[in-house]
Amino acid sequence: MRFLPEEEQQRLLAACFAQSHLTPEQLWMRYFALGGSLSLLDLDAYLNGLTALPRLDRDMLAHAVNERLDELSGPPRAPYSHSVRDAKPLHGPLKALVDLLEGAHRAPPERLPAIVAEAGRALDLRIGIYLADYDQRTLVPLRAESAVGLDIETTVAGDVFRRAGTTVTRDGPDPTLWAVLLDGVERLGVLEIVPTDGADPDDPVLREQCRWLSALLGHLVTITTQYGDGLDVRRRRRHRASPAELLWQNLPPLTGATESVVVGGSVQPAYDLGGVVFDYALSERRAQLAMFDAGARSSTSSYAVVNALAAYRAARRDGASLAEQYIAVGKELDDRASAVTGVVAELDLRTGVLRWLDAGHPAPLIVRDGAPLPGTGAVAARFAADEQSLRATEVHLRPGDVLAVYSRGLAETTDRAGAPFGRDRVAEYLADEVLPPETARRLTQAVLSHGGGDLHHDAGVLVARWLER
162 and 223 together in one domain:
yes
Structural domain of residue 165, as residue ranges? 92-233
Assess if residue 156 is contained within a domain: yes
Percent helix, strand, coil in the chain (nearest 5)? 40, 20, 40
Assess if residue 363 is contained within a domain: yes
191 and 57 together in one domain:
no
212 and 279 together in one domain:
no
pLDDT of residue 139: 95
pLDDT of residue 105: 65
pLDDT of residue 89: 46
Q: How far apart are CA 9 and CA 82, in angstroms?
A: 10
247 and 315 together in one domain:
yes
396 and 268 together in one domain:
yes
Domain final residue pick, 233, 250, 275: 233
List CB contacts of 332: < 8 A, sequence separation 6 or more.
Answer: 307, 308, 310, 311
Q: Which amino acid is at 433?
A: E
Model pLDDT for residues 68-120, shown as the tens digit of each residue: 887 776 656 676 666 545 444 445 566 666 666 666 666 788 888 888 887 78
pLDDT of residue 94: 60
Burial of 71 (0-12, 13-18, 19+ CB in 10 A): exposed
209 and 280 together in one domain:
no
Q: How far apart are CA 412 and CA 8, in angstroms?
A: 80
Domain final residue pick, 216, 233, 250: 233
Assess if residue 103 is contained within a domain: yes
CA-closest candidate to residue 187, choices 248, 249, 93, 266: 266
Query: What backbone torsions phi and psi does residue 128 show, to the nearest 5 degrees?
Result: -115, 140
54 and 99 together in one domain:
no
Tell me the CATH number at 415. Answer: 3.60.40.10
- Domain count of the fold of the chain: 3
pTM of the model: 0.76
- DSSP letters along 408-420, please? HHHHH-B-TTS-B
225 and 248 together in one domain:
no
193 and 248 together in one domain:
no
Q: How far is CA 338 from the centre of its chain?
A: 36
Assess if residue 84 is contained within a domain: no
277 and 193 together in one domain:
no
Q: Which ranges of 105-199 does DSSP label H, i.e. alpha helix?
A: 112-122, 156-163
Assess if residue 86 is contained within a domain: no
262 and 223 together in one domain:
no
Assess if residue 83 is contained within a domain: no
pLDDT of residue 437: 94
274 and 225 together in one domain:
no
Q: Which amino acid is at 1?
A: M
Assess if residue 87 is contained within a domain: no
Q: How far apart are CA 306 and CA 297, in angstroms?
A: 14
Assess if residue 108 is contained within a domain: yes
Domain final residue pick, 233, 252, 287: 233
Low-confidence ranges of the chain (pLDDT < 70): 1-3, 73-77, 79-106, 144-147, 335-338, 376-381, 388, 469
